[in-house]
Amino acid sequence: MTTIGGLVFLLAMVFGGYMIAGGKFGIILKSLPYEMMMIGGAAIGAFVMGNSMHSVKHTLGGFGKIIKGERFHKHEYVDLLSLLYWFVRLAQTKGAMALEAHIEKPSESPAFQKFPKIMADKIALAMICDYLRMVGMNADDPHQIEDIMSKELKKVREEEMHVAHTFQTTADALPALGIVAAVLGVIKTMASIDSPPAVLGGMIGGALVGTFLGILLAYGVMGPMATRLNGVILEDCKYYEVIRAVLVAHLHGNAPQVAVEAGRKTAPTHSMPSFAELEEALQNLQIG
């Protein structure tokens, strides 16, 4: 909601200041549809040209992330740490083979059913199941597992960041596309050079609307949206870092309580549950 609020405030200040200064909206409103068609259409066309259909669909989902913000908050981190604690404790007390029933069919696992949001997250579910499966296959070298997990997390982060980079690339192109629209307006004006000054003034003003829109959309809309999306993606990726931290700590031979503490410390500061909050959640944990 802060993104929408910021956008409304931005538009109110820009156009409010223009109106207070005595500006007239007539020329802007008259030119706006055509200039938006040229600038917006060119930006969309360039975006489609430079990306695969998968990237196009992925980018459209970025708008939802910008509006909704970070997906994971303190209670999601408590749930994740609770589930991981249960798994590493089970592996420590009953052996890695005891995990098989849960990781092979997570939809039937009472542990995963206890936390439906984790089960609905394809990345988190795959990471937990895949790496616990590797543990069951005696791939118990913590350094090797950590290296593999780090590479996967890097891949996930880069794939998600592609959307933010696309937003920023579009923002960088918009001022130039605004100039393209403005030049077309000047060409149109020059073709009517024998018109009265009042008519020519209106046509030149309409051409300048293109430059104005290109700059406003670039630095006032798309640029901030790219920055916001970049922050949301980096924040969400820390959720998966918690999985890595807990499983690696477990493979190093630490007790379950120590392993989840390592994961808790990896969570973002403002979403990190306190030691007491996590301890209470673990004491009240009931699965099966």
**6, 83, 130, 237, 258 from 45: Cα distances, Å:** 27, 45, 40, 30, 52
Tally of CA atoms within 13 A in the half-sphere of 232 that contains its CB: 23
| Average pLDDT value for residue range 79-90 | 94
Any idea which residue has 């609307």 for tokens?
Answer: 209
204: three-class secondary structure by DSSP: helix
21: three-class secondary structure by DSSP: coil
Under 8 Å between Cβ of 181 and 287: no
Under 8 Å between Cβ of 288 and 87: no
Q: Is the pLDDT of residue 124 over 70?
A: yes
Instruction: Compute how many other C-beta atoms are within 10 angstroms of the C-beta atom of residue 235.
Output: 16
CA distance 206 to 189: 10
Task: Band the pLDDT of 192: cuts 50, 70, 90.
Answer: confident
CA distance 165 to 112: 34
Put simply, whether the predicted model's pTM sits higher than 0.75 gets the answer yes
Q: Is the pLDDT of residue 63 over 90?
A: no
Give Cβ neighbours of residue 48 (< 8 Å, ≥ 6 apart).
56
Task: Band the pLDDT of 246: cuts 50, 70, 90.
Answer: very high
Helices (H), ranges, the chain: 2-20, 26-49, 53-68, 74-94, 100-104, 110-113, 116-120, 122-136, 142-190, 197-216, 223-251, 256-264, 275-283
| Average pLDDT value for residue range 45-57 | 88
Q: Which of 63-67, 153-157, 238-242 has the lowest mean pLDDT?
A: 63-67
How far apart, in Å, do the first and last CA atoms of the chain sit? 39
What was the pLDDT predicted at 136?
A: 67
The whole-chain average pLDDT of the chain stands at 90
CA distance 48 to 201: 36
CA distance 254 to 142: 11
Under 8 Å between Cβ of 248 and 146: yes
CA distance 84 to 80: 6
CA distance 58 to 61: 5
Q: Is the pLDDT of residue 56 over 90?
A: no
CA distance 240 to 125: 10
| Average pLDDT value for residue range 150-172 | 92
